Chains A and B, each alone.
Chain A
Amino acid sequence: VVATALPFGMPAFASEEDTQKHIMEFTGGKTPEAGKITLDAPEIAENGNTVPIGVTVDSPMTADSYVESVILLADGNPSPGVATFNFTPMSGTAAATTRMRLAKTQNVVAVAKMNDGSVFMDQKQIKVTIGGCGG
């Protein structure tokens, strides 16, 4: 039960307002609705240096109706940006996974922008724990 080193060196963290600002920039001022997008992440990070994070968006992914992009943000890292996934109808399904750094327990937010301009959001708290001790 000895604390582990954090993946980032400096303890300056983004804020929820920062994250909000990024969301609004991405959506062009629209408030995202719940639904359509699912954020897939572990409840507790095994390793704050590399946390799997995935999104799936419900969309037919045709030339007429597809997901343009998904932005991933985290409100407890030094800055909220994580990644932007850009999809096309050639993607087949609007789903992607990557791995991210988490400096501490925080919310990860995913916002999807459809080609018709509508926006959807999901979020999940991922816990970063000191670890040790068990049954």
Chain B
Amino acid sequence: MSTPKPRVKLPKSAAKDEIITIKTLISHDMESGQRKDKDGNAIPRKILNTFTCEFNGQAVFSCNMEPAISANPYFEFNARVPESGTFKFSWVDDDGTVITHEQDIEVK
């Protein structure tokens, strides 16, 4: 599988302390560890197990994922924007890989 590509939707700007909606999607098979291949061997679990969103270094939202989360994990959540700055999103794979994505927002 190629490197998962995250996609994030959030506004470019907001009013001070406005509560915005953030949507994220990332391509990943989320292999549950509960399936067998055609020879009957168990396919090992390999999922993204953690998602986090920070704003200017402060925790906003995070999620611990189990194998019941669908392939290509999707999240929709909110954030209060106190000032201009940077949202940092990260996804942690079972194999230790961390995928990150950053996006700026301007407070007008």
Given the complex, which residues of A lie within 8 Å of B63, measured CB to CB? 83-86, 96, 98
Which of the residues B20, B34, B73, B77 comes within 8 Å of A99, measured between beta carbons?
A: B73
Q: Please state if B35 and A100 are interface contacts (CB–CB under 8 Å).
A: no
Assuming the contacts A54-B76, A97-B75, asked whether A91 and B68 have C-beta atoms less than 8 A apart, the reply is no
Cβ of B59 within 8 Å of any chain A Cβ, yes or no, is yes
Give chain B residues whose Cβ lies under 8 Å from the Cβ of A88. 58-61
Q: How far is the CB of A51 from chain B (nearest CB, A)?
A: 8
Among A79, A87, A99, the residue within 8 A (CB) of B66 is A79
A101-B35 CB under 8 A given contacts A90-B58, A91-B80, A96-B76: no
The 5 closest A-B pairs by CB, nearest first: A92-B19, A92-B80, A9-B35, A81-B66, A50-B70
Residues of chain B within 8 A (CB-CB) of A20 are none
| Smallest CB separation, B45 vs chain A (Å) | 11
A78 within 8 A of B: yes
Q: Scan residues 61-90 of chain A and give those whose CB is less than 8 A from a CB of chain B.
A: 61, 74, 77-79, 81-90
Main secondary structure of the interface of B (DSSP, over half): strand
Q: Is the CB of A82 within 8 A of B66?
A: yes
- Whether a CB of chain B sits under 8 angstroms from the CB of A10 is yes
Chain A residues with a Cβ closer than 8 Å to the other chain, count: 32
Contact A96 B68 (CB under 8 A): no
Extra A-B contacts (4), CB below 8 Å, given A92-B78, A100-B68: A81-B66, A93-B78, A95-B77, A100-B69
Segment 47-65 of A: residues with Cβ below 8 Å from B? 49-51, 54, 61
- The residues of A that contact B59 with a CB separation of less than 8 Å are 86, 88, 90
Interface: B90 (CB within 8 A)? no
In the complex, the answer to whether A90 meets B80 with C-beta atoms within 8 Å is: yes
- B89 interface residue per 8 A CB criterion: no
What's the minimum C-beta distance from A62 to chain B, rounded to whole angstroms? 10
